[in-house]
Amino acid sequence: MTPSATKSDHPLVSVRDLSVRFDGTPPVHAVNNVSFDLASGEVLGILGESGSGKSVTLKTLLRLLPERRTTITGAVEVDGEDVIALQGRALADHRGGVASMIFQDPSLALDPVYTIGQQIAETVIRHEGATSRVAMARALEMLELVRIPSAKRRLGNYPHEMSGGMRQRAMIALALACRPKLLLADEPTTALDATVQIQILLLLRELQQEMGMGVIFVTHDIGVAVEVSDRLAVMYAGSFVETGSVADIIRDARHPYSKGLLAANLVGAVPGTRLDAVPGAPPALNALPEGCAFAPRCAHAEDLCLTTPVPVWSGAAGRWARCVHATREGATAVNKVAP
């Protein structure tokens, strides 16, 4: 089992050796032996390129993946419940009641034939057994909470009648309507312009602190991850390759992939020069290489990286990196081997 993140006696989320395989010919190994903990009131940012397994990890926490074509192994507990074992009504209660999700594109996630007020009220009625009047009052309260102008009038709007920023705020209101303990945010600001993006990020952070929720925030933007997160997990080819506090990753990244993501940032870049981008492309998840999956793109790769299990360097509590060179750089190398 890989090292986990900072632990508490009763973490809100506990994931151990999570692997997700999409069955086919050949099968696609989307998530591979991922382990982490999340405390109540904490924000974990998962950072990585498209196709690294970030969204699949979030959807597993809500069991949104197609069951007939998906094999899930490992242990996933949210608020003390075994999510993998949930079925029927218990699973429906979990979705929206205990854990909720903000999807990447509200235009696709919101139902176009129901008003925003109806969609939020329906959630409250389902999970809390409220009357229609009480549920609609909650919907108004949530729209005001996410600072939608003229909130009472917006209750009767359909999604297409709102701007992209307003739709995203409406989706946040929907996700928070039943006051979940865990909020999953799947790149919720990707489709927004820079000004609206900043507003949404600040709003999410404020609501998270006010409501005391645990949040897992998925993004490929290092700037966004730093803005909202307490801890970061860098994900590559379906696996976590480095975790630590935001300050740890920014100031002392140990994995070459983490360093590459930081170097490709526009912050501090000299105008007119090319960014130092990570070369190559991620491996196909249906044909992962032996050894380190990042080795074919790594400037520091050696024969050892291509053929042997990857050693794990461990620093302070919750700080680790899966890399041969990290163990050589660090003062404390542990005798653990990643799967």
At a CB cut-off of 8 Å and minimum separation 6, what does 310 contact? 291, 292, 322, 323, 324, 337, 338
Q: Are 230 and 6 in contact (CB under 8 A)?
A: no
CATH 3.30.499.10, applies to 13-109+178-290: no
Kindly give the confidence (pLDDT) of every residue in the chain, 339 residues in length, as a single tens digit, with 9 standing for 90 and above: 444 444 446 899 999 999 999 998 899 999 999 999 999 999 999 999 989 999 999 999 999 999 999 999 999 999 999 999 999 999 999 999 999 999 988 888 899 999 999 999 999 999 999 999 999 999 999 999 998 999 999 999 999 999 988 999 999 999 999 999 999 999 888 767 778 888 888 888 888 988 899 999 999 888 888 888 999 999 999 999 999 999 999 999 999 999 999 887 776 667 877 877 888 889 999 999 888 999 999 988 888 898 878 889 988 878 999 998 887 665 443 434 333
Our measurement of the distance from residue 131's CA atom to the centroid of its chain's CA atoms, rounded to an integer in Å, reads 33
Q: In the numeric block, which tokens belong to residue 316?
A: 């302070």
Cis status, amide bond into 26, omega within 30 of 0? yes
Q: What is the pLDDT of residue 9?
A: 61
Q: What is the pLDDT of residue 5?
A: 41
Q: What is the pLDDT of residue 338?
A: 38
Q: Spell out the domain ranges in the chain.
A: 13-109+178-290
Using CB atoms within 10 Å of the CB of residue 65, give its burial: 0 to 12 exposed, 13 to 18 middle, 19+ buried: middle
